[in-house]
């Protein structure tokens, strides 16, 4: 099981994508694993050429990424997500930035993509908030471009939103196959994720474009059952190779789980029982949360769980309890 702190990337003004490196510590839990040691990024990956001062600045920005090894000594490092909401050449720029970050982190990049749903993101960036079908069509074309940019050789792609002809962009990533995470809450995006992603993120449905009652209605265990069923049906033979992911939005590590859930239920006007059963919520003692995470892995396949940066320190006892399970 993997517990990760949420990391983000941002898209800059219209027609220009800017990937912002962020520091993320994540710990894979292997059977029989125990903390083996710490490491850091290399001072300068040998593949890099160019202005030494600028390269060192970028490498210094990544240095706080902690490398932990558990059991099988699997390296751990930077995890970057990018939200694809922009147009035109921005997707190619984003692909180049992702490949560059993979070089700088010595092959530790994970690409997280989505169609975009929050209205405020579009308003703040001056990007039209198109109908869901248009946004998903554009996302699917952009996904194809980014995945092809990560592979050797030139490619062409001619679609409704993007046209690429004979492009062979550099640099290329260190990883032969950069993992792609796609998160979604509706049937179409979840089906795309099941067919295209290495990691599928189960999200609440956000058709309204804002966080509100609709989101809580789609955080129930019944709603998650439906979403996971969509993924399993669409994945076909790929299912065994897909890692299932969920982001815990409501986290409180406390010995008074019942009291914390009761107070939060009143604040959010939701059923207290939902906060106990929803995989989007982790409220309780380390022992209780450990048991729930293992149950949810068994039921839904969630082996990759994200918690917010504000919760990661308090979550450490849960990570320790999961070691070897």
Tell me, yes or no, whether 226 lies in a domain. yes
Of 250, 268, 252, 251, which Cα lies nearest the Cα of 214? Answer: 268
Confidence at residue 209, expressed as pLDDT on a 0 to 100 scale: 63
Average pLDDT value for the chain? 76
Tell me, yes or no, whether 35 lies in a domain. no
Tell me, yes or no, whether 70 lies in a domain. no
Confidence at residue 2, expressed as pLDDT on a 0 to 100 scale: 65
pLDDT tops 90 at residue 172:
yes
- Give backbone dihedrals phi and psi of 254, rounded to 5 degrees, phi first: -155, 150
Overall size of the chain counted in residues: 325
Tell me, yes or no, whether 37 lies in a domain. no
Q: pLDDT-derived band of residue 213, with 50, 70 and 90 as boundaries? A: confident
Tell me, yes or no, whether 312 lies in a domain. yes
Confidence at residue 169, expressed as pLDDT on a 0 to 100 scale: 85
Here the CATH number for the domain that contains residue 209 is 3.20.20.30
Tell me, yes or no, whether 141 lies in a domain. no
Segment 261-315, tens digit of pLDDT = 999 999 988 999 999 999 999 999 999 999 999 999 999 999 999 998 888 889 9
pLDDT tops 90 at residue 74:
no
**How far is Cα 197 from Cα 214, in angstroms, rounded to an integer?**
26
pTM, full prediction: 0.76
pLDDT tops 60 at residue 143:
yes
Confidence at residue 253, expressed as pLDDT on a 0 to 100 scale: 95
Q: How many domains does the chain have?
A: 1
Q: Could you list the residue range(s) of the whole structural domain that residue 308 is in? A: 179-325
Tell me, yes or no, whether 232 lies in a domain. yes
Q: pLDDT-derived band of residue 5, with 50, 70 and 90 as boundaries? A: low
């Amino acid at each position: 099981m993997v517990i990760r702190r949420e990391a983000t990337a941002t898209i800059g003004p219209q027609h220009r994508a800017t990937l912002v490196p962020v520091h993320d510590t994540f710990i894979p839990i292997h059977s029989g694993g125990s903390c083996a040691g710490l490491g850091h990024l290399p001072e300068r990956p040998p593949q890099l050429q160019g202005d030494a001062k600028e390269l060192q600045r970028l490498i210094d920005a990544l240095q706080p990424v902690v490398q932990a090894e558990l059991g099988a000594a699997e390296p751990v490092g930077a995890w970057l997500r990018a939200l694809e909401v922009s147009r035109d050449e921005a997707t190619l720029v984003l692909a180049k930035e992702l490949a560059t970050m993979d070089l700088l982190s010595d092959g530790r990049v994970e690409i997280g993509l989505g169609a975009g749903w929050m209205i405020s993101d579009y308003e703040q960036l001056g990007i039209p908030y198109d109908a869901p079908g248009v946004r998903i069509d554009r996302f699917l074309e952009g996904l194809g471009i980014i995945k092809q940019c990560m592979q050797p050789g030139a490619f062409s792609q001619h679609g409704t939103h993007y046209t690429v002809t004979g492009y062979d962009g550099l640099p290329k990533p260190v990883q032969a196959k950069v993992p792609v995470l796609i998160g979604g809450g509706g049937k179409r995006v979840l089906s795309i994720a099941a067919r295209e992603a290495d990691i599928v993120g189960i999200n609440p449905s956000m058709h309204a474009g804002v966080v509100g009652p609709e989101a809580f209605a789609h955080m129930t265990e019944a709603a998650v059952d439906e979403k996971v069923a969509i993924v399993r049906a669409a994945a076909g033979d790929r299912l065994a190779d897909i890692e299932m992911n969920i982001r815990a939005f409501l986290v409180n590590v406390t010995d008074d789980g019942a009291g914390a859930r009761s107070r939060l239920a009143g604040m959010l006007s939701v059923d207290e029982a939902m906060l106990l059963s929803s995989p989007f919520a982790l409220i309780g003692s380390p022992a209780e949360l450990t048991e729930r995470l293992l149950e949810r892995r068994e039921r839904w396949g969630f082996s990759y769980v994200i918690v917010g940066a504000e919760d990661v320190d308090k979550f450490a006892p849960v990570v320790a309890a999961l070691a070897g399970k």
